[in-house]
């Protein structure tokens, strides 16, 4: 492959460090690609050409001066618009934050800047990261590069589509119930949800604080692992941050690339399979073919049981909206962004209410109502309290399973990318997209989604879940799978049509 945009981030990084390409050339290539195809795909809410090129020039100057640079210095990146970036608009795809320019950086934005990766821009998403299709963005619909009549997944559809359409070599997503992995699966990209607490939440616009986890989006395991190590690690500004060494994911991705899984035990959850009437046969077929490959590499498949799996979806849909209703109380027209009805004729409370009425979209309102109800006096024990108890049961199930196996595998999603509008009338149908990804968030562990093939011409993902702080195992298995393939699935995506075609 000859084009700059076809190279992996690791290749680009080596080219920049060793002087074969400059960061300005690389960054310009991706900015030009955005100009050429994002009018069609609509992955970006904001593009920062000047800012990205300024960082690129700095890196090039340092390299020319013989200064040492580190992994991914000069390699551009796209960031989901739920991550706060100083001086760059950050909206979480909500009207209520339209026009807000943050005065500070999230910890992961700081780390990306410290690594000196040029920030190409901010990517589209479901409003406040609530959704599975990016259709709930208040601003635009992002199209799936594989079939522009279909959704790119959600909530991080923008980051996934940007990487799939080669508008960015890598990107940042956030995963509360699947929003990195599910978009990864349906766009043929690699997505990783790190162990909860191993990546700082400081400066993420909060959705569900006990579940939210930022992580990498890439085309393969190695690129994701390198980015993972750049953004991970203890942060005293996040009270749930884990003060322990980052799991060696880069080493694991490199080791996995040797294609040897001898002695590795992979669990298949009995109840996932039993509850798989929601899954499409084409997805199951692609998943089973991937499992066969893993067995050929020496992995042993072991059936494990997680009886509480059946309750994962309802548990999540009590906990996440409850925490969201509390987190979103801060958007009242006083502190940030939108303010409606401030005309001297309305009381302060009316202004707050009118602002929230005008500023929040339908799914966000649905979650606030659900969460407020589940937390209300007289109901909190029956709903939120019960959900917390069941969450513990789910955690115990997975802990037991990980006593028997090194990692657990499943399809990432029950179905391929669906058509626009298909699941908008029935929220439950939308929620089902995360059937297999939600348990990981509830037990707090790591999981990656690696592309494994096509069903009806659309990408399918394999999910590899690890025990808490066992992120390296998930990367190793995923990289081993990649080693069985002649080409990355992401490299076989169709070329997007330029705008207006």
CA distance 347 to 340: 11
CA distance 484 to 494: 22
Rounded least distance, CB 207 to ligand GLN, Å: 6
Question: Is the CA virtual torsion 340, 341, 347, 349 positive or negative?
Answer: negative
Residues identified as active-site = 80, 155, 179
Question: Do 476 and 253 touch, CB atoms closer than 8 A?
Answer: yes
CA distance 387 to 380: 10
**Closest among 148, 178, 144 to 161, alpha carbons compared:** 144
Rounded least distance, CB 162 to ligand GLN, Å: 17
Rounded least distance, CB 387 to ligand GLN, Å: 14
Residue 410: strand, helix, or coil: strand
CA distance 36 to 494: 15
What's the first-to-final CA gap in the chain, in angstroms? Answer: 26
Rounded least distance, CB 91 to ligand GLN, Å: 15
The residues that touch ligand GLN, with contacts defined as CB under 6 A, are: 129-132, 155, 175-179, 207, 320, 434
CA distance 103 to 109: 13
CA distance 463 to 435: 12
Question: Do 217 and 190 touch, CB atoms closer than 8 A?
Answer: yes
CA distance 419 to 469: 36
Question: Is the CA virtual torsion 163, 168, 170, 171 positive or negative?
Answer: negative
Chain center to CA of 3:
26
Question: Do 96 and 356 touch, CB atoms closer than 8 A?
Answer: yes
If the CB atoms of residues 15 and 175 are measured against ligand GLN, the closer one turns out to be 175
Q: What is the DSSP letter of 418?
A: P
If the CB atoms of residues 135 and 229 are measured against ligand GLN, the closer one turns out to be 135
Rounded least distance, CB 125 to ligand GLN, Å: 8
Residue 242: strand, helix, or coil: coil
Rounded least distance, CB 177 to ligand GLN, Å: 3
Residue 223: strand, helix, or coil: helix
Rounded least distance, CB 368 to ligand GLN, Å: 13
Distances (CA, A) of 275 to 307, 372, 394: 11, 30, 16
């Amino acid at each position: 492959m000859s084009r700059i945009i076809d190279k992996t981030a690791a290749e680009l990084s080596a080219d920049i460090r060793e002087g074969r390409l400059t960061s300005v050339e690389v960054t310009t290539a991706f900015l030009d690609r955005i100009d050429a195809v994002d009018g069609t795909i609509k992955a970006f809410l904001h593009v920062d050409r000047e800012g990205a090129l300024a960082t690129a020039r700095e890196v090039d100057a340092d390299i020319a001066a013989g200064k040492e640079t580190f992994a991914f210095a000069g390699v551009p990146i796209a960031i989901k618009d739920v991550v706060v970036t100083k001086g760059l608009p950050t909206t979480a795809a909500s009207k209520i934050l339209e026009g807000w320019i943050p005065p500070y950086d999230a910890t992961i934005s700081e780390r990306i800047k410290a690594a000196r990766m040029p920030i190409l821009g901010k990517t589209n998403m479901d409003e406040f990261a609530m959704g599975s299709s990016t259709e709930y963005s208040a601003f635009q619909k992002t199209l799936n590069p594989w079939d522009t009549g279909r959704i790119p997944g959600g909530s991080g559809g923008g980051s996934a589509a940007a990487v799939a359409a080669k508008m960015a070599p890598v990107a940042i997503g956030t995963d509360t119930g699947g929003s990195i992995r599910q978009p990864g699966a349906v766009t043929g990209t690699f997505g990783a949800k790190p162990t909860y607490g191993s990546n700082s939440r400081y400066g993420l616009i909060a959705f569900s604080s006990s579940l939210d986890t930022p992580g990498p989006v890439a085309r393969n395991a190695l690129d994701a692992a390198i980015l993972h190590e750049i953004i991970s690690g203890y942060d005293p500004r996040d009270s749930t941050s884990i003060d322990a060494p980052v799991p060696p994911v880069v080493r694991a991705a490199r080791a996995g690339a040797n294609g040897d899984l001898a002695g590795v035990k992979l669990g298949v959850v009995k109840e996932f399979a039993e509850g798989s009437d929601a899954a499409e046969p084409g997805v199951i077929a692609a998943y089973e073919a991937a499992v066969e490959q893993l067995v050929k590499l020496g992995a042993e498949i072991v059936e494990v049981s997680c009886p509480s799996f059946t309750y994962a979806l309802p548990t999540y849909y009590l906990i996440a909206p409850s925490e969201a209703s509390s987190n979103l109380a801060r958007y009242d027209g006083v502190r940030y962004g939108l303010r409606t009805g401030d005309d001297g004729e309305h009381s302060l409370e009316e202004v707050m209410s009118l602002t929230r009425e005008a500023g929040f979209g339908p799914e966000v309102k649905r979650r606030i109502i659900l969460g407020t109800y589940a937390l209300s006096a007289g109901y909190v024990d029956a709903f939120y309290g019960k959900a917390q108890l069941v969450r513990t049961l789910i955690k115990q199930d997975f802990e037991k399973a990980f006593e028997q196996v090194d990692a657990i595998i499943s399809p990432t999603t029950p179905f391929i990318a669906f058509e626009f509008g298909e699941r908008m009338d029935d929220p439950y149908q939308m929620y089902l997209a995360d059937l297999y990804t939600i348990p990981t968030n509830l037990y707090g562990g790591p999981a990656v989604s690696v592309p494994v093939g096509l069903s009806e011409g659309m990408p399918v993902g394999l999910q590899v879940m690890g025990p808490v702080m066992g992120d390296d195992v998930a990367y190793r298995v995923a990289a081993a799978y990649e080693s069985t393939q002649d080409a990355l699935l992401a490299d076989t995506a169709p070329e997007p049509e330029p705008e207006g075609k």
